């Protein structure tokens, strides 16, 4: 999945001279968390998040009267508190790459650019939705963890066991077990109605299966 497939194309933009008061109104009326800041020529010059707005409000809000605060909100402009060094991505960025960028840079949105033109925006909420879809989250599924060694053919073997027992895999993801590079967690989702049968046939094949939280995973590594 690529960012271009999930980005918001109908982006809400403001100018650097937009007042803080107006920025608040725009975010509330449009139920959004981010504003892209463009100059008069349409060039991206910044981005504002709801967090930026709250931080800007925090200091004077405790010391000023309502009248003084409203006056200040009309005088403070977006240019004074927007993030000017904006991290952007092109539409062909993968969703997982976008998630990695946002996590490592501690940001919650990425403007999407084609050349110098801003064509969309993607947020952590958008990315999380895709990742949840990818791992098959749903009320009618059951989550199984199968502990396997990192070797060629393991996924095919596990899938074959379930196939031979007429159990359909709804989703499958893997990741390495922390501090044990040779061991992987194979996280499988099957229909809830197939759950007990899936656990039984995997265990009968000699695999270690976990269906609930346990503190110590080491007994499952053998």
Indicate if 64 and 154 belong to the same structural domain: no
CATH number for the domain spanning 153: value is 3.30.2130.10
pTM for the whole structure: 0.75
Q: How confident is the model at residue 1 (pLDDT cuts 50, 70, 90)?
A: confident
Q: Inform me whether the pLDDT recorded for 89 exceeds 80.
A: yes
| pLDDT value of position 148 | 94
Indicate if 20 and 77 belong to the same structural domain: yes
Indicate if 166 and 94 belong to the same structural domain: no
CATH number for the domain spanning 88: value is 3.10.580.10
Number of domains in the chain: 2
Least confident of 96-110, 135-149, 173-187: 135-149
Q: Inform me whether the pLDDT recorded for 64 exceeds 80.
A: no
Instruction: Return mean pLDDT, the chain.
Output: 89
Cβ contact 149:174 at 8 Å: no
Domain range for 146 is 136-220
């Amino acid at each position: 999945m690529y960012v271009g497939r999930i980005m918001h194309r109908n982006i809400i933009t403001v100018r650097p001279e937009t007042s803080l008061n107006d920025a608040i109104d725009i975010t509330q009326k449009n139920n959004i968390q981010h504003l892209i800041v463009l100059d008069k020529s349409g060039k991206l010059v910044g981005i504002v998040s709801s967090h930026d707005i709250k931080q800007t409000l925090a200091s004077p809000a405790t010391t000023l009267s309502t009248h003084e605060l409203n006056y200040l909100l009309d005088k403070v402009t977006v240019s004074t508190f927007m993030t000017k060094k904006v991290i952007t991505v092109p539409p062909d960025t993968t969703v997982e790459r976008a998630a990695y960028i946002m996590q490592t840079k501690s940001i919650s949105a990425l403007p999407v650019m084609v050349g110098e033109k801003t064509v969309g925006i993607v947020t952590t909420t958008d990315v999380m939705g895709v990742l949840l879809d990818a791992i098959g989250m749903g009320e009618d599924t059951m989550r199984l963890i199968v502990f396997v060694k990192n070797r060629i053919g393991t996924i095919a073997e596990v899938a074959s066991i379930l196939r031979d027992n007429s159990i359909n895999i709804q989703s499958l993801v893997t990741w390495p077990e922390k501090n044990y590079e040779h061991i992987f967690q194979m996280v499988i989702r099957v229909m809830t109605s197939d759950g007990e049968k899936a656990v039984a046939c995997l265990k009968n094949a000699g695999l270690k299966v976990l269906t609930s939280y346990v503190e110590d995973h080491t007994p499952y590594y053998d």
